[in-house]
Amino acid sequence: MGQAADDRIAQPPHADRHPAADPPSSASDTPSGTAEPPPASRTDAGEPSTLLPGTAEPPGRLPSPRTVRLPGPRVGPPSGLRPADGTAESPGADPAGPAPGESPEAETEAEAETEADPPRPRGALLLRTLRGPVLALLRHPYWEPADPAYVLRRWPGLTAMCCATLFFWLSLTPSLVPRPWPLQGVIGGITAAIGYAIGGLLEWLLRLALGPLYRRHRSRVHRLLPGRPGPHWRARAWLGYYLLSTGLTVAALSLSADAQRELRRLQEMPETLTWHSLMIALLAMAICGTLVALGRAVRLGTRVLIRLLGRFVPRPLAIGVGLLVSATVVVFGTRDVVFDRGIIDVAARLAEKTDSSTKDGIVQPASPQVSGSPGSLVRWDELGYEGRNFTGSSLSPHRITTVTGKPAVQPIRVYIGQESAPTFTSRAELAVRELERTGAFDRDVLAVAGTTGRGWVNSTDAEPLEYMHGGNTAIVAVQYSYLPSWASFLVDKEQAGRATRALVEAVRARWLRIPVQERPKLVVFGESLGAYGIEASFDGPDDMLSKVDGALLAGTPNFSPIRRELTAHRDRGTPVWRPEYEKGRHFRFAQWPRKDLARPGPESAWKGPRVVYLQNASDAIVWWSPDLALEPPRWLRAPLGPDITDEVTWFPLVTFWQTTVDMAVSYGVGAPHGHRYGNGSVEGWAAVAPAAGWTEQDTAQLRRFMDQREAPY
Say whether pLDDT at 22 is over 90: no
Say whether pLDDT at 31 is over 50: no
Best CA proximity match to 74, nearest among 106, 102, 117: 106
Q: Which residues pair with 589 in a beta bridge?
A: 613
Q: Do 585 and 610 form a contact (C-beta atoms < 8 A)?
A: no
The 3-state DSSP class for residue 523 equals: strand
pLDDT in tens, 376-419: 999 999 999 999 999 999 999 999 999 999 999 999 999 999 99
DSSP 354-401: HHTS--TT------TTBTTSTT-SS-GGGSHHHHHHHHHTPPPHHHHH
Q: Which of 52-61, 266-275, 536-545, 567-576 has the lowest mean pLDDT?
A: 52-61
Say whether pLDDT at 164 is over 90: yes
Where does the pLDDT of residue 494 fall: very low under 50, low under 70, confident under 90, or very high at 90 and above? Answer: confident
For residues 700 and 419, give the distance between their C-alpha atoms in angstroms, rounded to a whole number: 41
Q: At what angle do helices 397-404 and 459-468 cross, to 10 degrees?
A: 70
Burial class (CB in 10 A: 0-12, 13-18, 19+), 320: middle
Contacts for 507 with CB less than 8 Å, ≥ 6 apart: 428, 431, 432, 435, 446, 448, 476, 522
For residues 1 and 189, give the distance between their C-alpha atoms in angstroms, rounded to a whole number: 89
Q: Indicate the average pLDDT of the chain.
A: 82
Rounded mean pLDDT, 615-633? 94
**Cα 657 from chain centroid?**
7
Q: Do 139 and 235 form a contact (C-beta atoms < 8 A)?
A: yes
Q: Which amino acid is at 194?
A: I
**Cα 627 from chain centroid?**
19
DSSP 470-497: TT-EEEEEE----S-HHHHHHHTHHHHH
Say whether pLDDT at 82 is over 80: no
Where does the pLDDT of residue 119 fall: very low under 50, low under 70, confident under 90, or very high at 90 and above? Answer: low
Say whether pLDDT at 103 is over 70: no
For residues 209 and 203, give the distance between their C-alpha atoms in angstroms, rounded to a whole number: 10
Contacts for 116 with CB less than 8 Å, ≥ 6 apart: none
Q: What is the CA radius of gyration of the chain?
A: 43
Q: What is the pLDDT of residue 664?
A: 85
Q: Give the angle 191-193-197 at the CA atoms, nearest 5°.
A: 115
For residues 130 and 163, give the distance between their C-alpha atoms in angstroms, rounded to a whole number: 32
For the whole model, what pTM was predicted?
0.76
Contacts for 300 with CB less than 8 Å, ≥ 6 apart: 151, 152
Contacts for 310 with CB less than 8 Å, ≥ 6 apart: 318
Q: Do 560 and 531 form a contact (C-beta atoms < 8 A)?
A: yes
Q: Which of 31-45, 170-184, 320-334, 459-473 has the lowest mean pLDDT?
A: 31-45
Which residue would you say has higher pLDDT here, 148 or 565?
565
Q: Do 381 and 409 form a contact (C-beta atoms < 8 A)?
A: no
Length of the chain: 713
Where does the pLDDT of residue 65 fall: very low under 50, low under 70, confident under 90, or very high at 90 and above? Answer: very low
pLDDT in tens, 565-583: 999 999 999 999 999 999 9
pLDDT in tens, 209-268: 888 887 887 777 777 777 666 777 888 889 999 999 999 999 999 999 999 999 999 998
Rounded mean pLDDT, 61-80? 44
